[in-house]
Amino acid sequence: MINTMKQRVINLVDTMPKGAELSWTADLKENQFAWVTLNEVEDLPLFAEKILPEGRLVTISACNAKAEDKKAFHEVCYHFVMKGMSVTVTVLPTGVEPTVPSITQWHKSADWTEREMAESYGIIVSNHPNPRPLFLHETVQSEAMERLVPLSTMTNSASTNSLWEKIMGEKGEES
């Protein structure tokens, strides 16, 4: 079964119009893991469609791009499973605003994950059937996961009245 799925992944990668890189790893129990990097993000919908019916999407993760990749701030990894074999597909969002195409049309499990990625990391998911925010209120800026609060600010505010004074001051009340 695994050899059949392995050949299926090889054939799938070969059909990508813009090309893709494929590598394999195995764990100590000889479980096979496929690692696919698509050369162009535009091939993602085709991959998502062609991995069916054996493949299903498990989750999507966004992370910082590798340091040597100067053209992207994030990379997005789509984690599929095909009859027990893990297949991770990595793409680099493109455009002035980082953009990836939605794969919700083929994998319904992508719906919430794509929406969360959009609001947490500011990655635009084009052609998403339901692009409204998932967790954050419309008044909260996107890219919430990108903001860093220095530990010194957090601990200062936690151990003094400054945080409370700031909150009450924004509400127009006296502390």
Q: How far is CA 38 from CA 78, 144, 153, in A?
A: 11, 27, 41
**CATH: 3.40.50.720, 3.30.460.80, 3.90.120.10, 3.40.50.1000. Which one for 2-142?**
3.30.460.80
- Residue written as tokens 């990894």? 77
Output 158 or 128, whichever has higher pLDDT: 128
Tokens of 68: 């040597």
pTM confidence score? 0.78
- CA 58, 64, 65, 70: dihedral to nearest 10 degrees? 160
- Could you tell me the residue ranges of all domains in the chain? 2-142, 146-175
List the one residue out of 40, 42, 22, 41 whose CA is nearest residue 32.
Answer: 22
Summarize pLDDT for 25-69 with one digit per residue, the tens: 999 998 999 999 999 999 999 999 999 999 999 999 988 777 666
Mean pLDDT of 133-157: 61
